[in-house]
């Protein structure tokens, strides 16, 4: 359920070989994960790891297609400038974890193993989903790498993704945080962008039961900006480390048409969102990040993929 990195994904424009004109596809380092990893020479090395799965979306009765997102995202980010007001940018492609024959649970275990290896070797993982079933494997990997840490999770999402696992369906793209809550006595979860029309009262009640902190999408405005920033800071203060996940269905449909659950009233990727996003990226407690729910088969002119790519660029630049 693991595939080594593929150089063929990394292609694009070539303006020369001088440092100032290099692009990501010219500097990418392949990092096959077939054994133990040696630490990178650079302290700020980012490792890109794909999670090719839409099995969780299928089980959640959504529109499948997210399986292909890691390949599409690699192609989109290949042309990014390698030097963006920051020297010594170092990026690795660590390959893909792949869900085969609908065996989501094994794929999540494989993902957890690879995430833990990257973190233990002092890489900053940048995970490319895939459905939001990426959450459970991602968390398990962080937990393996930092078993004694108080771990937080920040999620930009229109949904809580805290549905209980039910037989015979099993875990899905909507159950990840519930699964984590069953294993963690100290459950620390902040979700930003919740839509009231996308979550039943039952899910709000479950969120309350597990102490989930949340910010409604309607609070993404200048008047409430200081309050939300303080909420984010208060959350970061109470954990040792955290990871960030961005579910692309948090954004309004014109900006993110390529998702399973389209949001006509989602948030805008505007200055307010950017302020929240960059505030989170600036924290030294941030150890890894993932992008979830890109469905290239539903996208328009790579609009959603390019939006996701911009977040990847900012994460890499911030390390």
Q: Residues annotated in the binding site, as ranges?
A: 132, 157, 159, 161, 247, 249
Tally Cβ neighbours within 10 Å of residue 270.
12
Q: Is 67 exposed, middle or buried (0-12, 13-18, 19+ CB in 10 A)?
A: buried
Q: How far apart are CA 215 and CA 207, in angstroms?
A: 12
Q: How far apart are CA 38 and CA 295, in angstroms?
A: 34
Dihedral, 234, 310, 2, 104 alpha carbons, nearest 10: 60
* 160 close to 199: Cβ distance less than 8 angstroms: yes
Residue 187: which residues within 8 A CB-CB, separation 6 or more?
Answer: 180, 181, 210, 211, 212
Annotated binding-site ranges for Mn(2+): 132, 157, 159, 161, 247, 249
Tally Cβ neighbours within 10 Å of residue 47.
29
Query: Which one, of 43, 49, 63, lies nearest residue 5 by Cα?
Result: 49
CA 284 from centre of chain: 17
């Amino acid at each position: 359920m693991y595939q080594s990195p593929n150089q063929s994904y990394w292609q694009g424009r070539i303006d020369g070989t001088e440092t100032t004109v290099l692009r990501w596809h010219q500097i990418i380092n392949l990092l096959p994960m077939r054994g133990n990893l040696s630490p990178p020479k650079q302290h700020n090395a980012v490792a890109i790891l794909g999670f090719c799965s839409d099995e969780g979306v299928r089980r959640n009765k959504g529109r499948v297609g997210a399986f292909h997102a890691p390949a599409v995202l690699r192609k989109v980010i290949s042309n990014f400038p390698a030097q963006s007001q920051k020297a010594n940018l170092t990026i690795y492609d660590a390959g893909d974890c792949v869900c085969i024959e609908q065996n989501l649970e094994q794929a999540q275990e494989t993902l957890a193993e690879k995430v833990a290896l990257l973190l233990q070797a002092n890489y900053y993982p940048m995970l490319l989903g895939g459905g939001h079933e990426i959450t459970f494997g991602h968390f398990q990997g962080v937990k393996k790498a930092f078993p004694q840490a108080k771990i937080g999770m920040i999620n930009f999402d229109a949904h809580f993704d805290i549905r209980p696992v039910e037989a015979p369906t099993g875990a899905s793209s909507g159950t990840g945080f519930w699964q984590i809550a069953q294993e963690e006595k100290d459950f620390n979860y902040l979700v930003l962008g919740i839509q009231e029309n996308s979550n039943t009262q039952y899910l709000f009640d479950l969120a309350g039961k597990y102490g989930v902190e949340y910010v409604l999408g309607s609070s993404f405005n200048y008047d409430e900006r200081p309050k939300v920033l303080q909420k984010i800071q208060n959350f970061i203060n109470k954990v040792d480390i955290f990871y960030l996940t961005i579910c692309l269905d948090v954004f309004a449909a014109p900006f993110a048409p390529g998702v399973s659950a389209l949001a006509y009233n989602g948030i805008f990727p505007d200055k307010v969102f950017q302020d929240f996003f960059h505030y989170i990226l600036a924290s030294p407690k941030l150890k890894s990040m993932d992008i979830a729910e890109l469905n290239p088969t539903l996208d328009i002119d790579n609009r959603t993929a390019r939006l996701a790519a911009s977040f990847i660029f900012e994460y890499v630049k911030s390390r």
